[in-house]
Amino acid sequence: MAEKADQGAVENESEQGTFDQNPNRPKTSIENQAEFKAIDLMLEGNLKAQIKYSMVEAIAESIDQKAMVLVEAEKAFSSNQGISFAEAAMPEIEAMAHSLVEGYVDFSKISLWEASKTAEIAWRENKDAEGKLISRIPYANRLNTPEKGNRLLHNLEQIKLWLQTVHDIHEEKGMGWVSSFGCPEDGKLIFDNRNKKLFAISHAIESIKSNLE
């Protein structure tokens, strides 16, 4: 994507008559170079990718809002009954996992650059013969290690971790643990369904990491 970003860098922003598909992106000048994201450059001129990323970003924001509630709850959690956070928050954890696997989004089709931060803004500087800076051209510089970015990949991994913890506790306490009637058969069905969700989330995570388009 960084190579595509280089092609998308604006060499001359004073050029007239160009349809700007991202009019909200701050214009760059030596006097006033406002902050903007590398993703703006990576997607410049690609309306199809811009629309797709906007939808992914909205999904990422929604998941992050819910995940942060659990993150903050886990930080503040203390138990006088000897139960873990995963046990106390099991309904919420199970619900989040269910929404990922049984929802309308196929997370395995999302690219790494859509689910994390894979590039950052860097600048090419042009100077005159006296060494005075006359212009700076932004470009997207690929990161060696992706950062959290919109936190979509990060939250998928966090939800998987919570769900795996619940799964391990269930296995340790026995199949009847989660059954309302202490029935091992009911508990085994829940255990197997959760295992399928773990597999699906793991598959989505690995697919995102390997999708470098």
What are the angstrom distances between the C-alpha of 65 and each of 42, 146, 155, 191?
A: 26, 21, 10, 27
Question: Residue 18: what pLDDT?
Answer: 36
pLDDT in 10s for each residue of the chain, 213 residues: 444 444 444 344 333 333 344 444 444 443 344 456 788 878 888 899 899 999 999 999 999 999 999 999 999 998 777 889 999 999 999 999 999 999 899 999 999 999 999 988 888 888 888 888 888 888 888 899 999 999 999 999 999 999 999 999 999 999 998 888 889 999 999 999 999 999 999 999 999 999 987
Check: CB of residue 118 under 8 Å from CB of residue 142: yes
Taking only the tens place, the pLDDT of each residue in 167-178 is 999 999 999 988
Question: Per residue in 135-150, is it b (16+ CB within 10 Å) or e — as a string?
Answer: beebbbebeeebeebb
Query: pLDDT digit string (tens) for 126-145?
Result: 888 888 888 888 888 889 99
- The residue with tokens 């290690």 is 145
> What's the confidence (pLDDT) of residue 180?
82
Which whole-number Å values give the CA distances from 8 to 3, 26, 39, 139, 213, in the listed order?
Answer: 9, 15, 11, 8, 16
Beta strands in 22-160 (DSSP E): 117-127, 133-147
The packing angle between helices 152-173 and 47-76, to 10°, is 40
